[in-house]
Amino acid sequence: MKRLLHAAGVALLLIMPAAHAAAADCAAAKTQAELATCTAKDAASADTALNAVYKGLSGRLAPADQQRLRDAQRAWIPFRDKECAFRT
Instruction: For the chain, 88 residues long, give each residue's pLDDT as a single digit of tens.
Output: 555 545 555 554 455 544 444 445 699 999 999 999 999 999 999 999 999 999 999 999 999 999 999 999 999 999 999 999 999 9
Q: What is the reported pLDDT for 22? A: 45
Alpha carbons 31 and 39: distance in angstroms, whole number: 12
Using a cut of 0.75, tell me whether the model's pTM lies above it. Answer: no
Number of domains in the chain: 1
Q: What is the reported pLDDT for 76? A: 94
Alpha carbons 87 and 80: distance in angstroms, whole number: 11
Tell me which residue range forms the domain holding 56: 2-87
